[in-house]
Amino acid sequence: MKSIIGLALGLGISALVNAQGIPTLAKAYAGNTSETSINASKKNPKTQTQNVAATLTIIKQDGPHVEFIYQNPNYKAYEIGTISPDGKKLQIAYKGGSGTYDIIGNKLVGCGSGRVNEGPFGQWINTYYAWCDDLTAKP
């Protein structure tokens, strides 16, 4: 009987600790994206940089599983992510790339990379980019 009570108590505490590790993200974030991209074609390689305002809007969160829209003036994407068990990171994936955000209080700060995934084959095979975001929850 003591072992059953101990097991139930242990499982209950474990569930409570795990539940506390996954934060509920704010519904909307705004901030800045810094991006470097290259069209690495052999004929005319070209590097571009940009710093743009960006938003991230949470569509749905179910525990560690997150669906959201990322948007800046030149780009809009439906993305997914999973929050780490300790609640400190959000690993994201989207069509053509991936990245990781650190969850720091009311901020999402992170970097990632991807490839252009539309247009002619020569464009998407040769064009890739790296980005970093600094986003703060909207009040």
Amino acid 8 reads: A
* Residue whose structure tokens are 């909207």: 138
Strand, coil or helix: what is 1? coil
24-137 sits in which CATH class? mainly beta
- 41-60: per-residue pLDDT in tens? 777 788 999 999 999 999 99
Torsion sign over Cα 80, 52, 75, 46 = negative
| Distance between CA atoms of residues 36 and 121, nearest Å | 21
- Mean of the per-residue pLDDT values of the chain: 86
> Residue ranges of the domains in the chain?
24-137
**Is residue 20's pLDDT more than 80?**
no
| Alpha-carbon Rg for the chain in angstroms | 19
| Predicted pLDDT of residue 117 | 67
* Residue whose structure tokens are 């994201």: 92
**Is residue 13's pLDDT more than 50?**
no
Q: Where are the alpha helices (DSSP H) in the chain?
A: 2-21, 121-126
| Distance between CA atoms of residues 63 and 139, nearest Å | 22
